[in-house]
Copies of this chain bind each other. A is one copy, B any other.
Amino acid sequence: MTVRRLSVYTRCLQQLEEDGVKTISSRELAERFSLQWAQVRKDLAYFGEFGVRGIGYYVSGLKAELQRILGLDREWQVALVGFGNLGSALFHYKGFGRQGFRIAAVFDDDPAKAGRSADGVPILPLRELPREAKARNLQLAIVAVPAESAQHVTETLVAAGIKAILNFAPGRIRVPKDVRLKGVDLSIELETLSFYLARGAR
C-alpha cells in the first residue's frame, strides 16, 4: 500500500470523527470520499483488528493506528531552507502544524532576512545549520530554494544529520542511500485536471 493512501484514509477518518461517526464500512468510506471501493477494502483489510464483523471499522481506533504508522503521534521539528515567496508561503501553511510538523528554524543567506525572525522562529544563515540541527533536534527539512542552490543546500542538510528532505526545487538532486528525499511537483496536480478536461473535449 502506498504511504500516500494511508495519509488520505487518515484525513477521511479525522473528518468522520469530527462529524461524530463512530464506525464505518469500507464501502461507506469509499462512497463518502469518492475513493475506489475495491482499493479501500483491500487496503483496510490490513487493519482487521480495528474492524467489527458486519459493521466496518472503529473510526477513532483505526485513525489512531494509521497516525501511529505515519509517525503523526508525535511532534517533528522541521528546518525550512529558503524564505522567498515559496518558503514564506510554506512557513505560513497551516496544514503542517495541524499534523504535528513544526517549523522550528528557517535558514536563508539573504542578509535582509538572516538574523531576523518570523512569528518567533529565527531566520538564520545556512552556516548555522549544523549547530541548530543538533540544538533544536531538527529531523526533517523542507527545501524551497532556487534549483541552482538545491544540491548544495541538500548536502549541507545531509552533513548536519537530516535524514528526510522534502524538496520543492525543480531538477534532480542526489542524496546518500540512508536519506529519504521526496520531490514535490505541483504541476502533477494540474495534470489530473487537464486529464479530465481533455477527456471531455475528445
A119 at the interface (CB under 8 A from B): no
Known: A71-B198, A89-B89. A191 touches B96 (CB 8 A): no
Interface pair B187/A193, CB less than 8 Å apart: no
8 Å CB contact of A164 from B89, B95, B163, B194: B194
Interface pair A139/B197, CB less than 8 Å apart: yes
A70 at the interface (CB under 8 A from B): yes
Q: Mark A168-193, 1 if CB is under 8 A from B, else 0.
A: 00100000000010101111111111
B residues within 8 A CB of A186?
Answer: 90, 93, 95-96, 184
Q: How far is the CB of A136 from chain B (nearest CB, A)?
A: 16
Known: A188-B8, A190-B96. A140 touches B71 (CB 8 A): no
Q: How large is the interface on A (under 10, 10 to 19, 20 to 34, 35 or more residues)?
A: 35 or more
For the residues of A in contact with B, the DSSP-based class is helix
| 26 interchain pairs, CB-CB under 8 A | A3-B192, A3-B195, A4-B188, A6-B195, A10-B191, A11-B185, A68-B198, A69-B195, A70-B198, A71-B198, A72-B194, A76-B194, A85-B85, A85-B88, A89-B89, A93-B187, A94-B147, A95-B187, A98-B187, A99-B187, A99-B191, A101-B187, A101-B190, A163-B200, A164-B194, A182-B189
